[in-house]
A and B are shown apart, each in its own frame.
Chain A
Amino acid sequence: MFAYHKDEEFCSNCEIELNSLAERCKGMQAAAIVSSDGFVVSTFGRLKDGGNRLGSMTSSMQALAEAVHEELGMGDNEYITFKSSDGNLVMSRVHDLPLVITALFNDRETVGHAIFSVKQTVDQICGGMPK
């Protein structure tokens, strides 16, 4: 399995996409793109431990969500949201790639716009993949 987190050019492209996401969503506080087994590819904003712990948790959450979807016969998981009093967290698999994006938004960002923007970023990451 290709280790995206070890590919400097890919990591750099992901960083550009996270910065672009932050430009479109002024309420984005932090974000990370991680491999499906929990390694950090790229981060935005201040994250404890360089985002390593969030990376592992993102990987676990995505896998648990997919297990629940499979158990209930709900089809493929598209995204996960967590709502708190301070804002929303959105997680999404990067289409068929073994990558997951997670982004934290404050309450100035609507959940609809946050999900839409994360999906745009997912498309852009996949669009930039070598053919």
Chain B
Amino acid sequence: MSENVILIAGPMGAGKTTAIRSLSDSEVVSTEADNTEMDRVNKPTTTVALDYGEIMLGDEDKIKLYGVPGQRRFDFMWRILEKRALGLIVLINNDAEDPLGEVVYFMEQFSSIYQRGGMVVGVTRSDIKPEPTIGDYVIHMDEHGPHAGVPTFTVDPRSKDHMVMMLYSLLMNIEANQGVQQDVRVSQG
């Protein structure tokens, strides 16, 4: 059986904990604390270390899902967890103050995963604020990073179907990128 680690990152309030609860086959381990920044993000609790869940894909492949805290003061957890990660789902709430800036920020923070083609983006809360559009995100990421074509979706983190679709897309993208890299090595060899 193979086991791989996928991270879920993004700003506070984007729906990371909800997404892991939607995806996980097992009871989710959460590390929630009372949120004292209610003036910034209106939710009672916030993740301060990680969320952890697991999902089986078929009989053989187990995905370990780690949600990381959204606040930048917890970025030491990002550095610890990214070392083990095969891929990254970035969730961005479209009603954030600067959603396009946020997506580039997380692209840069997890640049090692992004550069090997292991990142997908899920835009949440676009029912509340429809803009920027998916096209805006794609153009913005292409302008700020060397690797075009980060798969980008509108998702509802409460929907298991949406999140599974994103997870499969991420895994297939990683597999395709690994294949391309192997082809390049063979042609160079």
Contact = CB atoms under 8 A, between A and B. Distances in A.
Q: Do A and B come from one complex?
A: yes
Interface of A: 1-6, 35-39, 52-53, 55-57, 59-61, 63-64, 66-67, 71, 98
A60 B74 contact: yes
A51 B69 CA distance: 19
A56 B73 contact: yes
Contacts of B48: 36-38, 56, 59-60, 63
Contacts of B32: 63
Contacts of B34: 1, 35-37, 98
Interface in B25-68: 29-38, 44, 46, 48-50
User: Dominant SS at the A interface?
Assistant: helix
Contacts of B30: 67
Which size bracket describes the interface of B in this complex? 20 to 34
18 contacts: A1-B35, A1-B44, A37-B34, A37-B35, A37-B37, A38-B48, A39-B36, A53-B76, A55-B73, A56-B48, A59-B48, A60-B69, A60-B74, A63-B32, A63-B33, A66-B31, A71-B29, A98-B33
Most buried by B among A4, A38, A55, A64: A38
B76 A56 contact: yes
Contacts, number: 68
Which residue, B30, B33, B35, B50, has most C-beta atoms of chain A within 10 A?
Answer: B33
B176 interface: no
Contacts of A57: 76
Interface of B: 29-38, 44, 46, 48-50, 69, 71, 73-74, 76-77
B141 to A, nearest CB: 28
Nearest to B51: A67
Contacts of A37: 33-37, 46, 48
Nearest to A36: B33
Contacts of A60: 31, 48-49, 69, 74, 76-77
Given A60-B49, A64-B49, A38 B74 contact: yes
Contacts of B49: 59-61, 63-64, 67
A92 B183 CA distance: 54
Contacts of A63: 31-33, 48-49
A5 B36 contact: yes
Which 4 residue pairs spanning A and B have beta carbons closest together? A63-B31, A60-B49, A36-B33, A3-B36
B36 A56 contact: no
A53 B74 CA distance: 8
A55 B77 CA distance: 13
